[in-house]
């Protein structure tokens, strides 16, 4: 494998305005390509918007969802990839030919769709169907996986994706700055966003504190470290419907170290060059090779009652999304 330059993006999307969101994706993809990036990743439902969907009926969800890859948005992402000579990853609501609805993340290149992943643990809207398989695909000689937001909180999903061969896992999110049972969680006042240029310190304190980045740092680097993978985390900045999001899109190496992070309040990108050598030098590589699955395969694979429906009913507006 050769070194690979990856950009991850943050931007303030508009709810349901696919044309606008795709125009920002195009602009940031061009910026990343101009900096020599091979790949750019955007957040969960970056094409459609996310939080507004909690109030949509099945009919409204079906109207905003699209077929993949035949739909207009996927074709536009392929066009953006070709025009800018860059691989693009972005999210949207998908419908199949039977009008089943999914939370989907796609990877496009100049020659078409490269990968599609359906979120395994979707909520925000009760009419969404859970995805039922992992996704590992090739990007310029690198094996890559995708897990969307809450999928990454279930640690078995990350380990399974690694064991299927992924050395890079794209982790698109819409998260942080919402209520949760954990101490210190809660919404961030949208007034701070409106006043961000006059009082950036107050907003940054909220964004980086326990409502935001501080919580993310409790678990996200460990997913990279334990599994010896590069993690590409993408998250929106600004208002997503009526909820404020704090960006912090970042790339984490297999040692669990942040090697690039968005630290502005703007629509922005951050870029890192990833190298193969870290994959086998990191501790997670040794830990995976030291596993003894004969001791716990029956325990980990034991049947249990899924709490996904309970999560939808009780936790749909929390940061554990």
Reported as a pLDDT band with limits 50, 70 and 90, residue 306 is confident
Task: Tell whether the model's pLDDT for residue 317 goes beyond 80.
Answer: no
Residues of the chain above pLDDT 70, percent: 95
- DSSP annotation of 152 reads G
Read off the pLDDT of each residue in 135-152 and give the average, rounded to a whole number. Answer: 98
- DSSP run (H or E) holding 143: strand 142-146
Read off the pLDDT of each residue in 118-134 and give the average, rounded to a whole number. Answer: 96
Model pLDDT, residue 316: 47
- Predicted TM-score (pTM) of this structure: 0.95
Model pLDDT, residue 314: 42
The tokens for 22 are 């795709």
Question: How far apart (Å, rounded) are the C-alpha atoms in residues 76 and 296?
Answer: 46
Model pLDDT, residue 321: 52
Question: How far apart (Å, rounded) are the C-alpha atoms in residues 167 and 2?
Answer: 13
| Farthest CA pair distance, the chain | 59
Give how far Cα 257 sits from Cα of 216, 217, 302, 303, Å. Answer: 13, 11, 33, 35
The tokens for 165 are 């061969």
Read off the pLDDT of each residue in 307-319 and give the average, rounded to a whole number. Answer: 50
Q: Which CATH number fits domain 4-315: 3.60.110.10, 3.40.50.300, 3.40.50.2300, 3.40.1130.10?
A: 3.60.110.10
pLDDT in tens, 188-211: 999 999 999 999 999 999 999 999
Q: What phi and psi, each to the nearest 5 degrees, are found at residue 128?
A: -80, 145
Model pLDDT, residue 301: 87
Read off the pLDDT of each residue in 134-149 and give the average, rounded to a whole number. Answer: 98
Helices (H), the chain: 18-34, 58-64, 72-84, 155-163, 190-194, 200-208, 213-216, 220-227, 277-281, 283-289, 293-300, 308-315
238-247, 250-259, 280-289, 312-321: the lowest-pLDDT one: 312-321
Give the number of other CB atoms < 10 A from CB of residue 295.
9
pLDDT in tens, 55-100: 999 999 999 999 999 999 999 999 999 999 999 999 999 999 999 9
User: Whole-number mean pLDDT of the chain?
Assistant: 95
- Name the nearest CA neighbour of 318 among 150, 115, 66: 150
Half-sphere exposure of 262 (CA within 13 A, CB side): 28
Would strands 230-234 and 168-172 be described as parallel, antiparallel, or unpaired?
Answer: parallel
Model pLDDT, residue 282: 97
């Amino acid at each position: 494998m050769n070194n690979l330059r990856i950009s991850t993006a943050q931007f303030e999307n508009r709810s349901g305005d696919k044309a606008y969101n795709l125009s920002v994706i195009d602009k940031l993809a061009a910026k990343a390509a101009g900096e020599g990036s091979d790949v750019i990743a955007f957040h969960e439902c970056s094409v459609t918007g996310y939080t507004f969907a909690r109030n949509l009926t099945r009919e409204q969800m079906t109207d905003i969802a699209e077929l993949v890859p035949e739909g207009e948005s996927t074709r536009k992402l392929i066009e953006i990839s070709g025009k800018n000579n860059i691989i693009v990853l972005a999210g949207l609501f998908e419908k199949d030919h039977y009008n089943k609805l999914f939370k989907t993340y796609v990877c496009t290149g100049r020659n078409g769709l490269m990968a599609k992943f359906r979120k395994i643990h979707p909520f925000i809207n009760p009419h969404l169907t859970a995805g039922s398989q992992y996704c590992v695909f090739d990007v310029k000689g690198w094996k890559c996986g995708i897990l969307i937001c809450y999928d990454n909180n279930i640690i078995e999903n990350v380990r399974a994706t690694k064991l299927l061969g992924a050395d890079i896992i794209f982790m698109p999110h819409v998260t942080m700055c919402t209520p949760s049972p954990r101490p210190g969680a809660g919404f961030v006042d949208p007034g701070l966003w409106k006043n961000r240029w006059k009082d950036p310190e107050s907003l940054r304190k909220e964004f980086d504190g326990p409502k935001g980045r501080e919580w993310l740092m409790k678990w996200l680097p460990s997913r990279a470290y334990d599994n010896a993978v590069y993690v590409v985390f993408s998250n929106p900045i600004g208002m997503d419907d009526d909820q404020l999001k704090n960006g912090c899109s970042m790339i984490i190496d297999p040692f669990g170290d942040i090697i690039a992070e968005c630290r502005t309040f703007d629509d922005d990108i951050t870029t890192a060059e990833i190298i193969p050598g870290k994959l086998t030098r990191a501790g997670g590589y040794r830990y995976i090779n030291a596993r003894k699955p004969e001791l716990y395969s029956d325990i980990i694979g034991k049947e249990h009652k899924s709490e996904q429906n309970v999560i939808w009913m009780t936790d749909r507006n929390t940061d554990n999304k």
